[in-house]
Amino acid sequence: MAPERPHTVPRRRWLLPALLALAWLALGAFAGPFAGKLSEVAVNDGSAFLPSSAESTEVNEARAAFDETDAVPAIVVAERPGGLEAADLAYLEDAAAALAALPFNAGPAIPPQPSEDAEAAQLIVLIGADADESDAVAEIRSVLEDGSPDGLQVLVTGQAALGADLGEAFGGVDGLLLLVAAAVVAVILVLVYRSPLLPLLVLLSCGFALAAASAAVYFLADAGLIDLNGQSQGILFILVFGAATDYALLLVARYREELGAGLDRFAAVRRALRATIEPIAASAGTVILGVLCLLFSQLESNRGLGPVAAIGIAASFLAATTFLPAVLALFGRAAFWPRRTRTGPSRSRLWSGTAGLIARRPRAVWLVTAAGLVVAAAFMTQLKADGTTQTDVFLTDVDSVAGQEVLAAHFDAGSGAPAVIVADADSLDAVLAAAEVEGVAEVAAKTDASGQVVEAEGLVEIEAVLEDAPDSDAAMAAVERLREAVHAVDGADALVGGPTAIQLDTLHVSERDRAVIIPIVLAVILGVLMLLLRSILAPLLLTATVVLSFGATMGVSALVFNHLFGFPGADPTVVLFGFVFLVALGIDYNIFLMTRVREESARLGTRAGTLRGLVATGGVITSAGVVLAATFSALAVLPILFLAQIAFVVAFGVLLDTVIVRSLLVPALTFDLGKAVWWPSRLSRVRPLSRE
């Protein structure tokens, strides 16, 4: 029996990696299709994102007693400069009759209403609650194309059309975005590894992670346990590709290092995984805890992103620490073909030179870099993060936005989306009088076909047509005045809702979320770092550097958004999302660096360990930062203002963290402080082999 033992041991070493690889292949085959099905369970209705305590939400609930159909308006607007012709009006009357006959129409035929200048006309189509808004708007546009007179511009706008165009813009989430992200990662990995096989293995790891995350998110969203929208879906794809690749880069770099030390493939994988599992787990845990802080948000869209992003990071961690080590063990050195793994420690002129600069002038390095970040952060006050209009959401030309502009030019801009007041029926006259405030063009109670005021459960519904576009700053100011006026009517219990009120409430809730969530994220990340580094001073310094980096990023973003891209403003959630992602992801790279520095400091002393850790991790962390920045940049392929802004903020911020903060500021600070940086842990008191 003794001669068989050398043969059975290698077979056992092959068994676990092979089983792990097969298990992931089976999971990928089952879960892969769910990445393309997420759009089926995604909801992009902005009114559903507000908390139940919001005034506009209370109005929506009260309105159910008046209108069981819960119809959504689509507004058809036609314009001919110089005046509408008889043929134009005849065409619009025929179109109104045709639209009224469509199965989703929840109201009677409404004749077209010409504008006072006779250059435009509008008609309203009510889309029933059971109909798919996107399909209904598409059918309306199809009907309007038939027989349209030459020179007459006909557009569909209103709440339904804006929602349909937004859904179409998000339509590239599970197609174009995924393709671009995968292509970007593939190109970067080929440049980093200069090998055809290793990038394929890493991409397979990313793909399996995305499949697992997509399946979990699909089932949870379908069961109503989490909320998913197009924005969360896009960020999920990007996070999974970026995080899974980052973890893979760290593991593969250490694996190659162990192979270069002369270990066989199985021993090298075990040692590489043992050395990297702590920083990878800490990194994943930090990001998961950071994004889960979004659960403290009152906006359902923010709350939904928290668990969705956390699931994506968890899946990335599992794939990077199970599937990837398994296939690395199976392929061994062949994974790096045609390159050979070098024996002995690797050297880099760039990182050796950077380490030399820090060793010579540590204080000058961190003072200069910190001063530069402070200057950039000073421009953060120029960021216009007080919200944008709904029509500013799109980066491309869409009919709903063009139609809104035509409405604003020829009608009271808010006629298609009035503010809605719900009040006690006995106070109707007083509320009508109070509602005539600046910015309100017309006020009227809802009536039935006979002209009688409709009452339901002792309440009446009043529509206040705004003078300005419903998503404009002027309209929101008018709603604030309207609320103040009707709230003052004694005994009326009046509430103001409608599309403009929804946007106003969203802005107020976003401001509250920033004030609550940002301190929680900082506290959570600080706690994780203290546990990981067994220190108090080092985590405080690392957190301070990442916050400074965030400020600098937002300052540069303000300049770029205002003066280079000419954006009209920024969504109020850009600052919150930017903070959560940049602080959590920025800490990642400091974790990768400082865990290696701590490992080396135990042998060499803090100053020598800092330089050795910087040289050893410089290339892989920079590559990881470039990958993550490039994948987040892929969000810009979707023509949505918010996603374009998040793409720039995170991409620029990650590069700033990896190139400046992690490469210069943190090592220089650590080197300058010496072993005191580990206070109060035992490492701060151990006498190093080299003089501190």
pLDDT in tens, 492-527: 899 998 888 888 888 888 888 888 999 999 998 888
Q: 300, 322, 346: which is the final residue of a domain?
A: 346
Question: Is 201 found in the same domain as 161?
Answer: no
Grade residue 234 by pLDDT with cuts at 50, 70 and 90.
confident
Rounded mean pLDDT, 447-470: 82
Decide if 297 is inside a domain. yes
- Residue whose tokens read 């998040």: 646
Say whether both 221 and 336 belong to one domain.
Answer: yes
Q: Find the helix or strand (DSSP H, E) in which 624 lies.
A: helix 606-633
pLDDT at 364: 94
In angstroms, the Cα distances linking 37 to 33, 173, 311 are 7, 11, 17
What region, left, alpha or beta, does residue 179 occupy, with left being phi > 0 and alpha being psi -120 to 50 degrees? alpha
Q: Are residues 201 and 157 in the same domain?
A: no
Does residue 568 sit within a domain? no
Asked if residue 1 belongs to a domain, the reply is no
The two tokens of residue 312 are: 């994506």
Instruction: Specify the number of domains making up the chain.
Output: 3
Model pLDDT, residue 389: 66
Which one has a higher pLDDT value, 424 or 340?
424
What is the pLDDT at residue 1? 39
Q: For residue 447, what are the β-bridge partners?
A: 453
Kindly state whether residue 157 falls inside one of the protein's structural domains.
Answer: yes
Q: Which residue is listed with tokens 């600069």?
A: 357
Only one residue has tokens 């179409």, namely 168
Residues in a beta bridge with 157: 75
* CATH code, domain carrying 333: 1.20.1640.10
Instruction: List 154's β-bridge partners, or say none.
Output: 78
* Domain final residue, candidates 295, 313, 346: 346
Check whether residue 328 and residue 218 sit in a common domain.
yes
Element holding 188 (H helix, E strand): helix 178-193
pLDDT tens digit sequence for 10-69: 567 788 888 999 999 999 999 989 888 887 887 765 545 667 678 888 888 887 777 655
In the numeric block, which tokens belong to residue 74? 């689509």
Backbone angles phi, psi at 250, to 5 degrees: -65, -45
Contact 137, 125 (CB under 8 A): no
CATH code of 90's domain: 3.30.70.1440
Q: Is the pLDDT of residue 6 over 50?
A: no
Where among 445, 469, 497 does a domain terminate? 497
Q: What contacts 523, CB < 8 A, 6 or more positions away? A: none
Q: Which two tokens stand for residue 602?
A: 């135990």
| Chain centre distance of CA 474 | 28
Phi-psi region of 78 (alpha: psi -120 to 50; beta: other; left: phi over 0): beta
Pair 219, 302 in one domain: yes
**Are residues 289 and 201 both part of a single domain?**
yes
On the question of a cis peptide bond just before residue 539, with omega within 30 degrees of 0, the verdict is: no
Pairing mode, if any, of strands 440-445 and 153-157? unpaired
Q: Are strands 495-497 and 72-79 parallel, antiparallel or unpaired?
A: unpaired
In the chain, how many H helices and how many E strands?
22, 9
Confidence bin at 376 (pLDDT 50/70/90): very high
Q: Is residue 226 part of a domain?
A: yes
* Same-domain check for residues 219 and 153: no
Residue 541 backbone dihedrals phi, psi, to 5 degrees: -65, -45
Domain, as residue range, for 489? 418-497
Closest CA to 157 of 510, 325, 358, 400: 400
